[in-house]
Amino acid sequence: MAATFAAISFAQLSPKDRVDNAATLTPAKPSVNPITIMKDQSATTATTALKQDSAKVVKTETATFAGGCFWGMQEIIRKIPGVIRSQVGYTGGKADQPSYQLVCTGGTGHAEAVEITFDPSVITYEKLLGYFFRMHDPTTLNRQHNDVGTQYRSAIFYHSDTQKQTAEAVKARVNKSGKWKQPVVTEITKAGPFWSAEGYHQDYLQKNPFGYNCHVLQPE
């Protein structure tokens, strides 16, 4: 039958023989293991997710500023574009894990401060310093408005030599600007341990919109 079939054309076959022979001549589809497909799809999904996660990674920097009561400072800082998060706390002192009550005595040497995590691709450290000098009076030694004591001093705690150089340059520029009648007394000190303040201090003015605040962001 095979030899006879080879001698005649496909068109000469009866309709039934065409169907039978077409099935015989058509190459069989390779079998596909559904488990293999699932594994391949899972691998592709995992790779895509990994690429997306990598794309979302943001390089951040840290800045630490002190300029009076940290409640008002944090309320301004959290609204600055490029600031990812902030927390209030105590730094620049001698005691470990100081409490608010202890810092208020002025005996520990700590300043009320805000630690800022920011995206330098959105806002530079220099521009962040610009906000800092506009949100408080940098010419009053150990005081901001009604708050008096070393814990309320104006200070920049730098985290790198580059930050130190930038802070010194911005401070000098503010001093020469003529905006303030008195010299700028902001101290520029290497950052040390930062102790997070008690929970009720964090985002205080978000929790208490009519709470005490002596900070106002001045125009540029």
Structure confidence by residue, pLDDT tens digits, 163-189: 999 999 999 999 999 999 999 999 999
CB 21, CB 10: distance < 8 Å? yes
- Would you state the pLDDT for residue 34? 54
Active site residue 69: yes
C-alpha neighbours within 13 Å on the C-beta side of residue 202: 10
Q: In whole angstroms, what is the distance from residue 180 CA to residue 136 CA?
A: 11
Q: In whole angstroms, what is the distance from residue 107 CA to residue 104 CA?
A: 8
Percentage, residues of the chain above pLDDT 90? 73
Element holding 107 (H helix, E strand): none
Element holding 165 (H helix, E strand): helix 161-176
Structure confidence by residue, pLDDT tens digits, 41-75: 555 555 555 555 545 688 999 999 999 999 999 99
Domains of the chain, each with CATH number or no CATH:
2-56 (no CATH), 61-207 (3.30.1060.10)
- Would you state the pLDDT for residue 57? 83
Provide the 3-class DSSP secondary structure of residue 5.
helix
Average pLDDT over residues 124-138: 98
Catalytic residue, chosen from 63, 66, 69, 155, is 69
CB 87, CB 202: distance < 8 Å? yes
Please name every residue paired with 91 in a beta bridge, in sequence order, or none if there are none: 111, 194
Q: In whole angstroms, what is the distance from residue 207 CA to residue 74 CA?
A: 12
CB 157, CB 92: distance < 8 Å? yes
